[in-house]
Structures are given as C-alpha cells and as structure tokens.
Structure 1
Amino acid sequence: MDWTAALNETTDLTKDFRKAHPEAAKAFTQMHHAALSDGALSTKDKELQCVAIGIATRCVDCIGFHVRGAVKAGATRDEIVETIATCIMMGGGPSYMYGVKALEAYDQLT
C-alpha cells in the first residue's frame, strides 16, 4: 500500500465533505486539536493511543493519519512496534494484521 497516496486521497475526500457541511468538519477538527494537544499525556502518547484504536477498530485511514501524527510528535519505530504488540495482546489475529499495516505506514511515512 502506498500510504502517502492513500492519505492524500482521503484528504481530498474530506475536502468535499468540508464544503458540504463546514460546521461539522470544523467542529471535528477543533475536537481533534483539543484532544491531541499536550496535557497530562503528551501529544506523542495520545497519537500512539490513536494508532492503537485505529488498529483495534480496523480503520486503515485512522492508522495512517495517526502514525503520521505520531511520527510528527517524535514517535520512534520501537514505540510503534510496542503499540502494535499491545494491540495484538488485546485483539489477537485481527490486530496483528492491522498492526503490520501500521508498521508499514511508519516505514513509508518516515
């Protein structure tokens, strides 16, 4: 999978929705920024949580966007690997399959 192309495609699709319902799109973006800003947990830790949730819910786009966010926040490959391992422990085979997608995303997006 080409993660950069996939994220660009999804970004283009969200632009269409932003035009159709700008209030909802703006509200989601504001919530995103508020939830992921540094606080008791760092932005990096929160992005790693988002990667885990993306794996657990099998959301490929979530995995890509939040791996990219985790990288931007300073996450290392080892931190992504440990996040994946925790997902596998909690979610079994499906988490393993989506976890390897997250690792591929990290390798391509760094």
Structure 2
Amino acid sequence: TSALVAEKLAAWGIEVHRNIAGTGVVGVLRNGNSSRSIALRADMDCLPMTEETGLPHASKTPGKMHACGHDGHTAMLLGAARYLAATRRFDDRKRSIDHCIGIRN
C-alpha cells in the first residue's frame, strides 16, 4: 500500500519521503516562500484478521485486512493531495502541505 501511495504522490509532482517508521509515507507540496505549513494525515494500517468477504477488492495478504476504514481514509487523502497538487489552491501564507500517510504499530 505504501508503495502505491508514494507512486501516486510522485506522479502528481509531490515530494515524497518513504519508509517513515517502516512503512509510512510523507508527501510535501510547496507553494510560496512562507515558513508555515499544515499537515493532512491518514492511517493506512490493517487489522490482524483474515478477510473472508470474497469481494474482488479483498486483501490478498493472509491474516491482514483493511476492515476499519483506513483504506477509505487513504483514498480521501490521496484525492486531496491530487487536487491541491493540480490547483495549488491553498493559502499563499502556507508554504507547504504535508500529506502524512502512515502506519500505527
């Protein structure tokens, strides 16, 4: 998941930092010269359980399942990152937007 997130952020021209605490990803989007920034954050960890839904998008990793909404949170944050990268529509007093997508242990 973290490789896919990093790939998407990089494709949209966002500076990417990988392997934060193992599997975390941080994307930095800069605009202007201010030293101020804000962060948008989402979890992308999974639960230690086997998915038995049979759905096409079910986990392919035995014993791991995205069952707590974090996949949705990651998708929403990627949507925000894509929009902000394309439009640069954020306050010019904020120099950067940090998109933090990580895992909790």
Is the structural similarity TM-score above 0.5? no
- Higher helix proportion: 1
TM-score, normalisation: structure 1: 0.25
- Higher strand proportion: 2
Larger Rg: 2
TM-score, normalisation: structure 2: 0.26
Q: Relative contact order: is structure 1 or structure 2 higher (C-alpha 8 Å, sep ≥ 6)?
A: 2
